[in-house]
Each structure stands twice: as structure tokens, then as C-alpha cells.
Amino acid sequence: MSFKYLLKGQMNFMSKNGFNVTMISSDGQELNDVIENEKCAHIIIPLTRKITILKDLKATYNLYKLIRKEKPDIVHTHTPKAGIIGMLSSYFARVPIRLHTVAGLPLMEATGFKRIVLNLVEKLTYKCSTKVYPNSYGLKKIILNHRFTSENKLKVIGKGSSNGIDTSYFNPELFSIEENAVLKTNLGIKKTDLVFIFVGRIVSDKGINELVEAFDKICLVKENIKLLLVGPFEDELDPLQKRTKLLINNNENIISVGYQNDVRPYFSISNCLVFPSYREGFPNVVMQAGAMKLPSIVSDINGCNEIIENNINGFIIKLKSVDAIYDAMIKITSDKSLFNKLRLNSRDSIKIKYEREVYWGLLLKEYESIINKNLR
């Protein structure tokens, strides 16, 4: 899924610019699409998202053997689990250039023994790497504050992100008024409804409990509003509160459509993204919404507060606050001139800072610079 959605096109770009790229990940239903899209070799190494000591050790050993056989010049890892396994394997296999991109820190919401373990894993990952790329400046600051590694090992590429965004793909002009009208009708959304949208995993640490409660309160004072939830529930990893589930099921103005391969049609029928997440690296969803001309209401956390400028292309609000979400959504519904200003600024802000091919070019220069310094 990371190759198909988070890093889409990056491997193909590098292979067209002088690199022989081999992708490594778990198996999955996305595999054939990934190979077809990227036109690069792919090798399966089973990985889990949870802490599974025996499986993780086996994956590390298998990857070590593979790296010893392939002898790559660069190993570049993404996601926490691939990071620790990939950096350990490549360190012991003596790969000269070991790069790790940090796109978020799950440990930020962890406590107790689990937090201790995750802290140690993060430090070990960075220790085994030769360069670490936080995908936001806020994330870089957090890493330094926790003393996970030294500043000279850290670098943010461009303005942030792990892959930029393709604004020709996330473009509202690709969707006609007629197409939007059909989708709205199918979902029970009236022409006069103002639609708030959330896109992502429907879990507690994305702020869904607070979002649903705030929206339910707004329904008592505002008419013609809808909340569109686009994404999968993950009860086994981070379940919602029982009250939240009841509100989602019983409030007729809340529409949950589950996981969608293509989220653009849902952005296209919406007016504002609400993304009150507890922790992020550099959220693609906020960039996607902006490219689709949607202002965003986001938590005051790293990544989100770099993409959004308060009162320019959205609102930055207090973390874990029902009242803050409520107040921001009320502003969107009540102040039409402010909403229009935010909307008009949204797409230009994303195009200027985060265009995908610009990001790829910067990453390519980084690769070439490191190779010149270390291998030539």
C-alpha cells in the first residue's frame, strides 16, 4: 500500500534517471498494480505492522541475506517497521548508503513499556542509518527534542512530504457537475448541503471521536450539512469509542463509505476537509484536499501546521478539542466570504510548495550528492 499510494511514481522516476531499483515489501493485493506502475523489480519479505519479535527477527535475517546477495549501493526505507528491519539488515550487510524517511512517529501516543520499546527502536533505526529524512520540519524538531539522533544526520527534502503531490491528478476540473450530482444523489446529499469530509483510517488517533461529537452538536443548530467519512475502520488496532460508533450509525447526516481506491470524487463533492489527527508526519490527505480546492481544518501538529496557514487556506485548531473543531466548522458554515477566500487559496498553496515532480527532482539530487560523496 505504501508503494501504491504513498510513494507512487517515485521508484519509476529513479529508474528512468540512472538507478536500478528493486522494491521490497510484504505481499498484498496491490502488488501487481505496483509492479505495473513502477516498472521495477519487486521482492516479497513478510512484514507485520505490530511488534512481533520472532517474525521481525526472521524478516531481518531474510532481508540481510537478500542484501548480501544483491549488494546495493543504497537502501532507502519508509515506515517504522521497514525502517528498523531495513536499517539493521543493511548495516550488518555493510551497505555504504543507508537512508530512512520518517513519515510519522507512532510512539507519540504510546505510553509505559510500549513507549520505552518504541523509543529504543527509533534510536536504533537512526543509529544504523547514514542519513535520516523527516518529512516535515516539525517532525525534525520532535526528533531532536527526543534526542533520537544528531542534527547533522537529519535533513528535510524541499518544503516537506515523502513524495509531493501530483496536482494534475488531484484536480477538481477532472470531475463534471453532472458526475458530482450523480454521486451526491447516490449518497443522499442534497444540492444545498455543505459537506465536511474526513479521509483516512477511521480510528481514535485520527481524532474521529472528537470530530463526530462536534459534528453531532452542530446538527442541533445548523441544517443542510453532512459529514462524509471516507476510510476503513480498524477496530483491531485503534477502536473508536462506543458512543462515537452509535453517533455514526444513528445520525442521518453522517455518511460512511468505507475504504475507497479513488478518493478524488469524494473530495469533488465536498466543501471542507476536517482532519483533527493526533499525530502525523506530513499528511498526504491535507495536500490532496488543497489540490482539490478544499480548505482544511487541522490539528496544531507537525505536518498539518506546515501545509495549512491559519486563515489563509484553512484553520489550525487545538489538539483533541471538540470545542475547537465545533467552532471552526461553525465558521465555515456561517462566513461565506471567509470560506471562499480559504478555498481560492487552497490549490495555489499546494502547487507552489509540493508539486510531485519538483520533489522527485530534489530527491534525485540528494541521491546523486550522497553517491558523489561516498562512492566516487
Contact 263, 288 (CB under 8 A): yes
Whether residue 346 sits in one domain with residue 198: yes
pLDDT at 51: 80
Note whether 155 and 194 are same-domain residues: no
Residues 250 and 332 in one domain: yes
pLDDT 10s digits, 69-81: 999 999 999 999 9
The predicted pLDDT at position 367 comes to 97
Looking at the fold, whether 9 and 125 belong to one and the same domain comes out as: yes
Q: Within this chain, do residues 337 and 363 fall inside the same structural domain, yes or no?
A: no
Q: What is the DSSP string of 117-180?
A: HHHHHHHHHHHH-SEEEESSHHHHHHHHHTTSS-GGGB---TTS-SS-B-TTTS-GGGS-HHHH
| Percent of the chain at pLDDT exceeding 90 | 90
pLDDT number for residue 111: 80
pLDDT range class, residue 169, cuts 50, 70, 90: very high
Q: Exposure of 295 by Cβ count < 10 A (0-12 exposed, 13-18 middle, 19+ buried)?
A: buried
For residue 30, what is the domain's CATH number? Answer: 3.40.50.2000
pLDDT at position 202 over 90: yes
- Looking at residue 248, its pLDDT comes to 97
pLDDT tens for 75-122 read 999 999 999 999 999 999 999 999 999 997 877 777 888 889 889 999
Contact call for residues 136 and 105 (beta carbons, < 8 A) = no
Share of the chain above pLDDT 70, in %: 100
pLDDT of residue 24: 97
Mean pLDDT of 312-331: 98
The model's pLDDT over 12-53, given as tens digits with 9 standing for 90+, comes to 999 999 999 999 999 999 999 999 999 999 999 999 888 888
Query: Based on the domain organization, do 160 and 198 belong to the same domain?
Result: no
Residue 215's closest CA among 225, 207, 230, 200? 225
The answer to whether residues 192 and 300 belong to one domain is: yes
CB distance 320 to 210 below 8 Å:
yes
Mean pLDDT confidence for 138-149: 94
221 and 86, same domain (yes or no): no
- The pLDDT tens digits for 220-254 are 999 999 999 999 998 887 899 999 999 999 999 99
Average pLDDT of the chain? 95
| Torsion over CA: 28, 39, 92, 65 (sign) | positive
Residue 230 confidence (pLDDT): 98
Q: Whole-angstrom Cα distance, residue 119 to residue 106?
A: 10
pLDDT attached to residue 366 = 97
Domain tally for the chain? 2
Q: Which domain holds residue 272?
A: 172-354
- Are residues 368 and 345 part of one domain? no
Residue 185 and residue 293 share a domain: yes
Residues 153 and 209 in one domain: no
* pLDDT for 171: 98
132 and 177: one domain? Answer: no
